[in-house]
Amino acid sequence: MLNKVFVLDTHRTPLMPCHPARARELLRKGKASVFRRFPFTIILRERVGGDRQNITAKSDPDSKTTGLALVAAFKRGLTVIWAAELAHRGQTIRAALEKRSNQRHSRRNRKTRYRATRFDHRTRSARWLPPSIEHRVLTVITWFKRLMRWAPITDSSMGRVRFDMQAMENSEISGAEYQQGTLFGYEVREYLLEKWMLTCAYCDAQNVPLEIDHVHPRSMGGSDRVSNLAIACHDCNQAKDNARLSAFLQTDKGRQTRQQVSAAVYAGNDPKKRAERERHESNWLERVLKQVKAPLRDAAAVNVTRNILFERLLELGLPVETGSGGRTKFNRSQQHYPKAHWIDAACVGESGASVCLNLELKPLQITATGHGRRQMQNMTKKGFPRGKAKSRQKTYFGFQTGDMVRAIVPKGRFAGKHVGRVACKKSGNFKLKVGGKELDGVSWRHCTPVHRGDGYAYTH
């Protein structure tokens, strides 16, 4: 099942999205034209205004992928009519900034090592965020603004708190009712599942029912703080029982667990592999304790952006509903929906307690790719110039890197019809990325633009 198609009237005022079949009929009869390919939008030729229902734009922000959903208030109830998953490039930005910093540090040591430092004289604005985190806020706000141009959105909803740290540390803290109710367990469990990456802490088992285990048993003075909790499969949880972690290692189940995990990580019978396997077994306790104390960086990044994102959504002039990650999971589990970013977005907040959605709906996959880079000179790992300076020209033969094109190649090794993202070259032989394959050497004469580059890549 595909998303509904966005509809604009003659004056580009958003109307209620329609079914893809209805959009095809309007295009075939000449009553509408294609306005935009991704997401697919049509514009009516001879119509102004129309009936509209309330539509809520909902999002579930995450550090790597943000779920987006449009929920319409029909007579039969709240229904998801459009969904997407927005993949951020925060890690790419962070890696690029670290690379640039290393190159500048190397150049300064070579060229101006005696220059006085200046970093103490630089200031930042009150709303400053690291670029990798600011990117997450900007992309979400960008897509809210775009959806407001293409659909009659009246409300908005977002997951403002990924994990409520205070509620997990002290379940009796005053505030929202869910902090004293059943949702407290959902907050803690969701945090632990993400921290341990849906994997048993002791045997690395995946795709099995996981339970919460006290690393230091409560019968021996262990607390309920999240720093003393881990995720374990049922067998490991029962075998460990109320023993200390070091004592669990000496049991048959503990030794068997260490051997199985080490054999899976270092498979092979040669002496080198056996030595690595023994070293891995000996460091098993240290690795588990290190993971227990490890912070959840992705959750921290989302918590940093939550207030900024909330404030900027308010600036759009829409009422904003908020909800926590535990509330989202509670709503999703009560309705027996599977885990997916766009489903989490539909289940955010109180309005997500009863949402109708089709599990066969294919959300639009949006990947942030950026608009290229401004670096004019490639550098080596040591910071020395490599190759020639790059040209400032970005458009070649009417195409620009990032455009979606349709290539009809009559003959050769790439003969056939292809649709994908193009990387332009001065020679005119472009590189076309179709799915997971790259077709290097497609002439610009065989290409027809489908969607001009806007900093994102799209797939269904």
Q: What is the pLDDT of residue 259?
A: 61
Say whether both 259 and 273 belong to one domain: yes
Those residues with Cβ within 8 angstroms of residue 41's Cβ, 6 or more apart along the chain or in another chain: 5, 6, 7, 8, 34, 35, 150
CATH number at residue 453: 2.30.30
Q: What is the mean pLDDT of each run of 10 residues along the chain (460 residues)?
A: 91 94 95 93 90 91 90 90 94 88 83 76 79 91 95 91 52 42 60 79 80 85 78 83 78 67 58 63 71 68 79 91 85 91 92 91 92 81 78 86 91 90 90 87 92 88
Q: What is the pLDDT of residue 236?
A: 82
Cβ 424 vs Cβ 432: under 8 Å: no
Q: pTM of the full predicted structure?
A: 0.74
Q: What is the pLDDT of residue 170?
A: 47
For residue 214, what are the domain limits?
196-293
Say whether both 149 and 62 belong to one domain: yes
Last residue of a domain, one of 293, 311, 332: 293
- Cα 351 vs. chain centroid, distance in angstroms? 23
DSSP character at residue 184:
H
| CA 127 – CA 325 distance, rounded (Å) | 24
Task: Decide if 50 is inside a domain.
Answer: no
CATH number at residue 225: 1.10.30
Q: What is the pLDDT of residue 129?
A: 84
Last residue of a domain, one of 339, 368, 397: 368
Domain count, the chain: 4
Say whether both 162 and 304 belong to one domain: yes
Q: Is the peptide bond before 271 cis (omega within 30 degrees of 0)?
A: no
Q: What is the pLDDT of residue 19?
A: 94
